[in-house]
Chain A
Amino acid sequence: MSLGVDSIRECLEGTIPAMVATCSADGTPNVAYLSQVEYVDSGHVALSFQFFNKTRQNILVNPWVEILVIHPVTAAMYRVRARYLRTEEEGPLYERMKAKLAGIASHTGMAGVFRLLGSDIYAVQSIEPTGTRSLGEPSPGLNRLAALRRALAKLAAANDLELLLERLLDALALDFGIEHAIVLMVDASRERLYTVASRGYGASGVGSEIGFGQGVIGVAANARTPVRICHLTLDRTYSQAIREGVESSGNAAAIEREIAWPGLAEPHSQLAVPVCSGEDLLGVVFVESGQALRFTYDDEDALLGLATHLGVAMRQLQTSADTPDEVAALHKGASQPRGEPVRVRYFDADGSVFVGDEYLIKGVAGAILWKLLREHRQSGRVDFTNRELRLAGDIRLPDVSDNLEARLVLLTRRLAERGGCLSIEKTGRGRFRLIVERPLLLEAAGQRTPGATPPR
């Protein structure tokens, strides 16, 4: 019985180039090396179309090819007989292959030479072992199905977004052995993603942003497809590590409104998986490693399964978070602010908030904090609900489907890391408390707000 493409996916990781034979109209065979054979599904593969070469000329007149692939560990060889169907020049498969090719090109010293013109899709007719000797079974690695099962059990117990993200990072570290992971949520109106949780870095990078289309994460978001690169790429298109000058802010007067991307400067393996709920993109789960070929097709499948569940869970939690617990939150006596007043500045143009001279947050999360601080100043309120924030007209949530809870997780994390005298504490489902430990001097758009505490 012929094998399916599923059975030989390890041969398609690009470790050892595959070879393809084609035949011209006059019956002359041709052999060419292939930089990339991509898994499409159990019955299809895609080859990278990079040059108008003999292979290209041949398949346009005679669609039959035979491909020889080699297992990178066992040396087992397989013959794949296939028929050319069509070329895709855009879309998820094309983006996936283009990203992966950037890694292969850099790895093989072909950066600047290899460029994807299209993804040639072939229907596989048969896959047969050549009958040469193989070095036996590869040593058993991680069982991804079992890891996925354990990971899903961890996620099932989470009853709010913050916990869900913690459990996800636990699962990636403990069940999949992944050392570096970042979860980003989508800000659809700005076509950007913001980091809401991370694991395995010196600084969490919570609040750092990636534009749609930028790096493997931005491409995964744009194309709604997993993007995986198996080697260090020199192609800046796929680099996330675009530091936006944060380290160099030795000048205290510099107004810096960017949070540094936490990721590895030179990742040798990267995998970004979109998190969706139906048609809506909610975010991206990104993992990386300093080791080449760290993530496989099986990792891609397992993480996509995990991300699919994450999308459903996020949507469910978002709905329930807007229905606060009926049980009134415990009103433990709110502590009185004491000590020297702290200046908090808000810039309406981008929603950015500075505590003292230090940049804290911007955008929707900044607007939320500003609203909380103003309410607190006017009425002394400390307890709030998610629902009232969603209904508030003055914080400009992009639309009702925006994940308010994710913004609150971001704000809570940033306050914990950089807020100093300010923090947020969850008091129940859909409820939280603002904790202010020092008197505040609130200034909007550089202007002092009337009635604020006088400057020191």
Chain B
Amino acid sequence: MSGNDFPVLEEAVRALMGRRVSIIVASRDADHRPHLMRAIGWRPSADHRRVSVLMTARTSSQVLDDVRSNRTIAVVFSEPTTHHSVQLKGSDAVIEPTVAGDGQLIDTYARRLAEELGQLGYSPAFAHALLDHSESEVVAVTFTPTHAFEQTPGPRAGRPLAQRAG
């Protein structure tokens, strides 16, 4: 892989920014058993090289334990009305405390996802129940995406979009 792949991967991250997406985070334990949970928001780093997904510690304990032990992660971002989906994978994930502004970010994320699900007939209360949390229990799981995959349902799902030199 050449350095030329970097902008492509960052482009995949940048392209997600305007979209109202559901976020599902997967990990695996020492026995290679997979685990998953919904995230309640996300943010890219300023240079788009790293991505942080915000998760509720209480309901994501297995995923967070896995990340602590092996740092491997897969995250799917999917736009419910179009099924447009992208999967990012990385192997350097770390769990960090939230930063100033994350509370606001989560609120905005919830409002926009509620708008998206509203187009499919779901009430705002439904979306907010899916994203239920208390601010004190939110953590950020931050990783450098090394692979991006097309994940829109269909025969092309799983096709690599970009890969970072390793």
A-side interface residues toward B, CB under 8 Å?
19-23, 27-33, 35, 51, 53-54, 62, 64-66, 68, 70, 74-75, 77, 79, 81, 108-110, 113-114, 130-135
Contacts and interface: CB of A to CB of B under 8 A. Distances in A.
Interface in B45-95: 56, 58-59, 70, 72-76, 78, 83, 85, 87, 89, 91
Given A31-B26, A135-B129, A113 B153 contact: yes
B36 A21 contact: yes
A32 B76 contact: yes
A162 B91 CA distance: 69
Given A33-B151, A51-B154, A27 B32 contact: yes
B158 interface: yes
B27 A68 contact: no
B105 interface: no
Contacts of A68: 24, 36-38
Interface residues of B, number: 40
A135 B132 CA distance: 11
A108 B83 contact: yes
A311 to B, nearest CB: 39
Contacts of B83: 33, 108-110
Nearest to B30: A27
Nearest to A56: B158
A32 B33 CA distance: 15
Given A29-B26, A29-B72, A110-B153, A135 B126 contact: yes
B27 A29 contact: yes
A19 B35 CA distance: 11
Contact of B154 (A66, A79, A110): A110
B70 A27 contact: yes
A363 B130 CA distance: 58
Given A29-B74, A33-B151, A132 B130 contact: yes
B15 interface: no
B97 interface: no
B157 A77 contact: no
B34 A21 contact: yes
A16 to B, nearest CB: 9
A62 to B, nearest CB: 6
A29 B87 CA distance: 11
Contact of A31 (B33, B59, B76): B76
